[in-house]
Amino acid sequence: MKIDSTLTTATKISETRSRPTVSKADAGAAAEVHLSHLATQLQSTNESSSTFDAERVAEIKQAIADGRFTINAGAIADRLIASASELVNKQPN
């Protein structure tokens, strides 16, 4: 493959600048999003449980730094299974 050296940098720049551009209005006009029932349900769940306890986070962070933080794998597994069961039972057939 041979590189064509006949084009100058100025020619390349002017060709690039002369390309038509798509405005934001044109790009967004055709975009339409449809969420599934499950996606809508998950989104509403996230919005309702968006509470943030900064004090609790600071306590956990300090416990990790001090080496006092322990992980209860059994409790995590139980809550994960309960959460998955709840999601499965809520889904329409």
State the number of CA atoms in the 13 A half-sphere of 50 facing the CB: 7
pTM value? 0.34
Give the pLDDT score at 42.
Answer: 78
Digit-by-digit pLDDT tens for the chain (93 residues) are 566 555 555 555 555 555 555 555 555 567 788 888 888 877 776 555 557 889 999 999 999 999 999 999 999 999 999 999 999 998 776
- Tally of CB atoms within 10 A around 41: 14
Angle at 34 between CA 29 and CA 37, to 5 degrees: 165
Give the pLDDT score at 36.
Answer: 86
